[in-house]
Structure 1
Amino acid sequence: MTSDSPVRGIDHVGITVPDLEAATAFFVQALGAKVLYDTLAKGQPPQEGEDLERRLRFLRGSSIRAMRLLRLGNGPSLELFEYAAPEQRPPARPNDFGLQHFAVYVEDMDAALARFQAAGGEVFSRPHELPPLEQGPGNAFCYARAPWGTVIEFISYPSPQPYENQTALRRWKPPQRD
């Protein structure tokens, strides 16, 4: 199948965190993330000023204190940002406009959720069966929240899904681990 879109896929998801080191430790412990590099290490001069405020639509007086890229399994990276700003709000709730969560594919839902909780995350409920066009044995999802409020969905769909009978297109799924 060919496409006229220049987009190849999602490269990374950016997340603002209150403490870069604590968030990194959480993602390493909870999701097995690995640190790739620091774009702006703590202790370096912050990125700030009118040009940055204009480019990123920051509130006046905001600055980036630290940035780090994490590798998360076989999918997009996570880019963590620690900002200083005159006014910061908690993350959006799923019913608010804007990016509301990211999802991680897991082989073992119970083990993944236990690891997430042990790292300090909050699991909202027990895993639920996926909706009708995604249902199948073992196909499930569960929402959870990182300690600073970012919502993360855990999802697994080892069985064929009913939508596959309606289209030749398939959703992207991380490859099996060796």
Structure 2
Amino acid sequence: MTTDSPLPRGINHIGITVPDLEEATRFLQDGLGAKVAYDGLTDQDEPRCGAETEQQLGLPNGATIRRQRMIVAGTGPSLEVFEIDAPHAPAARLADYGLNHLAFYVDDIQGSLDRLVAAGGQALSEVHGNSRYEDTPGNGSVYVLAPWGTIIELQTIPGGHSYPDDSEAEVWTPPAVS
């Protein structure tokens, strides 16, 4: 590995697979104020499938991508949402290896929680304090299950993060949205 190789700018998008793209879109819109950027694959398009698609995307044999949509919620990475016909495992939980939750920074955590639950999410607890370095005044966090099982974290840290002396970077916090 050479040290002069280009580095990434940051996370562009996060992909999630859902059982029903329209229901998931409504949940994300109602619960998080998300907006549709575009449909990469509609129900009017030929589905993506076959050996080449399976190899390119690491899909199991016989999997078919029916629909694909890019969704934006606030600032930061977009969500690329897929509806795929294939055998499915349950959504990852926090103890599972790999990606296990999406975290959204919010200014009004209780109001945001109420909105997400009204949209069909299931709160796993009440709002609680954050962990070390995120435990400044006014902080809070809560995990919510989306209807298809993905864990969504709502987090607020109005006092900012604290950092140990050996910290090499500061955590990115989305700017306020209007």
Extract structure 1 runs of 4+ deviating beyond 2 A.
164-169
C-alpha distance after superposition, 1:125-155 (max 9, x if no partner): 0111111222111111111110010111111
The answer to whether residue 120 in structure 2 is matched with residue 120 in structure 1 is: yes
TM-score, structure 1 normalization: 0.92
In structure 1, distance between residues paired with 2:106 and 2:5: 31
Aligned to 1:50: 51
Kindly state the Cα deviation for residue 109 of structure 1 after the two structures are TM-superposed.
Answer: 0.1
Q: Which amino acid aligns with 2:46?
A: P
Preserved CA contact (<8 Å) 1:33 1:72: yes
Q: Percent identity?
A: 43
Query: How much does 1:160 deviate?
Result: 3.3
1:128 and 1:42, CA in 2 relative to 1: closer, same or farther beyond 3 A? Answer: same
Q: Distance in 2 between matches of 1:174 and 1:83?
A: 31
Alpha-carbon displacement from aligned partner over 1:58-78 (angstroms, at most 9, x marks no partner): 111101000000111011111
Whole-Å Cα distance in 1 between the matches of residues 175 and 6 of structure 2? 23
2:17 paired with 1:16: yes
Per-residue deviation, 1:177: 2.7
1:54 partner letter = Q
The alignment yields a C-alpha RMSD, in angstroms, of: 1.6
Structure 1 unmatched runs, 5+: none
- Correspondence list, 1:66-145, <5 A: 66-85=67-86, 87-145=87-145
Q: Report the TM-score when normalising by structure 2.
A: 0.92
CA contact (8 A) 1:106 1:154 kept: yes
Please list every run of 5 or more consecutive structure 2 residues that lacks an aligned counterpart in the other structure: none
